[in-house]
Amino acid sequence: MNVQTFINEHPFSPFQWLIFGMCFVIVLLDGFDTAAIGFIAPSLVTEWHISRPALAPVLSAALFGLAAGALLSGPLSDRLGRRSMLLSSVILFGVACFASAYSADITQLTTLRFVTGLGLGAAMPNAVTMMSEFCPDSRRATLINLMFCGFPLGAAFGGFLAAWMIPHFGWRSVLFLGGVAPLLLSVLLLIALPESVRYMVAKAKPVDKVRATLARISHDARDAGSFFMTETAPTVQGQSGVSVVLSRSYIVGSIMLWLAYFMGLVIFYASINWMPILLKESGLSPQRATLISALFPLGGVGAVLLGVLMDKFNANRIIAACYALTAVSVYCIGQAAGNVGLLVLVVFLAGVLMNTAQSSMPALAAAFYPTQGRGTGVAWMLGIGRFGGIAGSFLVAELTRLHFTFGGIFAVIAVAGVISAVALLIKQAAHPQSRTSGDLKATGPVGH
C-alpha cells in the first residue's frame, strides 16, 4: 500500500483532526510564549528601572534559543522521529517559562528566556513536519497554514490577556500561565500523539506500527501486508537531513527560504517587541498601546486563504506578492502615528499581510523537501530565520539610540519585506520545476 495514496484517497478523519488540534495548540502556545516578553517589557522597565536599550538582551534571548532549538531539533527529528522531539520540546519550554515567572532580576530572566526558546524552537518545525506528513496532497498548504495561524493568534491572545492580567496580577502571571498550559498539553501528547507514518515508512519501522496508525484513519489499512511511499522531490545520496538541505539540488532554494523567513521575522519581532513601547512614547496610554500592538499578530488568520491559493497556483509568487504588500503597509504604520483610528487600521492591515506571508512559509518549505530531509529543511528555515528576530530586536534598539523618528523606524523595517519578496522570486527562477503546492507524484519507492 502506498502511504500517501492511502491518505489522499480517504476523507480527513477524526484521528487526523486530533493530530491537527494538538499541533495547532502547540503552535498557539509557541506564539503566546514567544510574544509574552514584548507585552511585559513596559512593566520590566518600570519595576526594574532599566533603559529601553537594556531590554534588547532579554527581548532577544528567547530568539537565540529559538534558533538553536530549531537548528538542533531538525536533524534529530529526521534521525529519532517527530513524536519524541515534539513531546520533549513542549515539556522543556513549559518548565522554563514557568520558572521564568520567578526571576529575581534581568539576568535570570534572560537566561530562562533562552532555555524557553530552545523548547519553542524545537516545537514549531516538528509540529509543521508532523502535520505535513498526515495531510492529503490537495489540502496540505491549506491545513498547514490553518495550523500555523495558531502562532499569531497565540501572540495576539497574549497581548489582550496581558492587557488584562498585568494590572490585576502583575507581569509574572503572564509567564506563569505560559508555563502551566504546555505542561498540561504534554500529558495529552504523551497519550494521543502518534509517530509520523511517512517517517516510519522511510525508516523501515515494523509494518504493524504503520498499519496500526493508518487503521485509525480508515479500517482499509488493516488488509495491507506492506507499505511504501513515493516522492516528487529529487532524492539525494546519503540519509541525513543535512545532506539533503545542503545538496546541489536544494542549496539555492534553501538559502532563499532562509533569507525570506529571516527578513519576515525582522519585521515581526521589530514590531511585536517594540511597538508597545514606541506607541506609548508617541503619546498613547500603556493599555491602548498594548491593545493596538496586539492587532499586528492577530492578522495571521489570513494565511488560510493564502493556503488555498498555494494549493492551486504558484506558491512562490503568491507569497512574494504578499511580502511586497507587507513592505508598503509597514511603511504606512510610521506615517499614521498621529491618528489613532488610522493607526488601528494600518497596524491590522500590516499584520494581515505580514503574518499571512510568514505563516505560509513552513508549508512552502515542507513541500520543497523530500521526507528524508523535511524535518531538517523546515527546522533550519525556522532556525536560521530566527536570527532575523534577533536582528529586528537589536535593529530598533539601535535606531532609537540614533534618535530615529517613529516614521523613520518603520521605513527601515519595511525594506525587509522587499528583500523577502525578491528572495522567493529567485527561488522560483532557480527551481521552476518544483511542485510548490505540495503535491507528491510517484517516482518510485523509498521505504518498505
Q: Where are the domains of the chain?
A: 3-430
Nearest to 40 by CA among 62, 54, 59, 68: 59
Q: What digits encode the pLDDT tens for the residues 175-187? A: 888 889 999 999 9
Q: Does position 12 have pLDDT exceeding 80, yes or no?
A: yes
**pLDDT higher than 70, residue 233:** no
Among 116-130, 317-331, 388-402, which stretch is predicted with the lowest mean pLDDT? 388-402
Q: Between 290 and 150, where is the model more confident? A: 150
> What are residue 172's phi and psi, to 5 degrees?
-65, -25
pLDDT at 245 over 80: yes
- Mean local confidence (pLDDT), 160-185: 87
| pLDDT(238) > 80 | no
What SS3 class is residue 228?
A: strand
**Which pLDDT score, from 0 to 100, does residue 445 have?**
34
- What backbone phi and psi angles, to 5 degrees, belong to 228? -145, 170
Mean of the pLDDT values across residues 213-238?
Answer: 74
- CATH for the stretch 3-430: 1.20.1250.20
Summarised one tens digit per residue, pLDDT across range 358-407 is 888 888 888 888 877 888 888 889 888 878 877 887 888 888 888 888 77
Q: What is the mean pLDDT of the chain?
A: 82
Q: In this predicted structure, which of 235-239, 251-255, 265-269, 324-328 has the lowest mean pLDDT? A: 235-239
Question: In sequence order, which residues have a C-beta less than 8 Å from that of residue 295 and are 6 or more positions away?
Answer: 156, 344, 347, 348, 351
> Mean pLDDT lowest for which of 2-6, 169-173, 394-398, 441-445?
441-445
Asked if 96 and 65 touch (Cβ cutoff 8 Å), the reply is no
**Strand-pair partners of 228:** 2
Given a cut of 60, whether residue 307 has pLDDT beyond it is yes
Cβ neighbours around 400 below 10 Å, total? 19
Taking residue 209's Cβ as centre, other Cβ atoms within 10 Å add up to: 13
What per-residue confidence (pLDDT) applies to 142?
Answer: 84
What is the rounded average pLDDT of the residues 93-104? 90
Residue 249 DSSP label: T
Q: Is-contact 347 113, C-beta < 8 A?
A: no
Residue 300 Cα distances to 46, 258, 328, 344, angstroms: 31, 20, 17, 16
**pLDDT mean over 208-213:** 86
**Rounded Cα–Cα distance for residues 397 and 416 (Å):** 17
Higher-pLDDT residue of 116, 298:
116
Contact 207, 197 (CB under 8 A): no
For residue 434, pLDDT over 70 is answered with no
Choice between 284 and 214, residue whose per-residue pLDDT is larger: 214
Lookup result for grid cell 509574572: 172
* Rounded alpha-carbon distances, angstroms, from residue 39 to 32, 157, 277: 10, 11, 9
